[in-house]
Every structure is written in C-alpha cells, then in structure tokens.
Amino acid sequence: MSASGASAAERLDHRGAVGLLLGPSLELGEWVRGGKFDEYARAGGYAGLSFAIGVNGNELHGWARALRNGDSIAWSGVAGYRGYFGESQVKTFFDLGARFDVTPQASAGPRLGFGVQWEFSSFAGVFAGLALHLGAGNGLRFSAEAFTGIQLRSYLLE
C-alpha cells in the first residue's frame, strides 16, 4: 500500500525544475534565394536546457541542433517559451520562440510548435511534437519539423 501511496503523491508539475532536453528531429523545408527554390529534408538531433518559470510550471528553453545536410552538418539554435496545459501525467504544450540558423546559410525567425508530453516520473518525461519556422537572412526559409525527446528534470530552483 505504501508503494501505491508514494506514486499517487508524485509530483507531475515542473515548478522549480531545471531540465535537460535530448532528442531527434526531422525537418522538411524550402529555401528561397535568388529566385531559386531549394527543397530539403534533413534529420538530426538536439540538446538543450529548460528552466521553469512562474507557478504553472511553464518553461523557458533553449537548445542547439545539428542536422545532416548532405555531406555536412547544418547547425541552428532555438530559444523560447513552452506553455503546458493540464496537471496530469499527460500534458499538451505549445512552443513559442525563435530559431537561429548558423550553417549552411544564416537566417533567423519565429518558430511555433505544439505537442504532447507524458510524465513517467516526477524527474522525467517523453514528448513529441510538430513545429513551423519562417526565417529570413540569406534568402527566405520555410520549414516544418517533427521532433521527439526526453526531458530529465531536477528541482534545483525550488
């Protein structure tokens, strides 16, 4: 009985948490420059951090991404806000942020995403989502991204 009581009292919110984000992603996009339209598909991964803010467990997050771009690596970074809906083991979320592409062509612009997260303990959860990005710089970029990952948390800020 004490084991089931312990899991019933387990925290599933992110208040006060600092998290490590790790996972793969797949991106489909189009790069427009000089009147040319270049379509691409690339897969890779990301690593980053999240910091809970406020009393609802919403987070500020940032991560670096490395995606395969032919024979080279395309590097980019994402920074933004993740808002969660729900307090149960399964939550939905939205991401509102900015993406900065460094290579192969520099660009920056807004990124909007949404998804679902399953908390399998108070210290870890897995998530999956979709995001759209519009970037400007050395041409225009439009991309759609599917991502998944794991969030490992520590309650250092509480």
Closest CA to 95 of 44, 137, 28, 48: 48
User: In this predicted structure, what is the pLDDT of residue 157?
Assistant: 67
pLDDT digits (tens, 9 = 90+) for 19-71: 999 999 999 999 998 889 999 999 999 999 999 998 788 999 999 999 998 88
Q: How far apart are CA 42 and CA 27, in angstroms?
A: 5
- Pick the range with the lowest mean pLDDT from 12-16, 103-107, 138-142, 150-154: 12-16
- Which CATH number characterizes residue 66's domain? 2.40.160.20
Closest CA to 19 of 59, 67, 69: 59
| CA–CA gap between residue 113 and residue 93 (Å, rounded) | 8
- Predicted local confidence at residue 142, as pLDDT: 96
Which residues pair with residue 143 across a beta bridge?
A: 29, 133
- Structural domain containing residue 97: 2-154
Question: Are the beta carbons of 41 and 26 closer than 8 angstroms?
Answer: yes
Read off the pTM: 0.87
Q: How many domains does the chain have?
A: 1
- The rounded distance, in Å, linking the Cα atoms of 131 and 118 is 18
Map residue 1 onto helix, strand or coil. Answer: coil
Read off the amino acid at residue 137. G
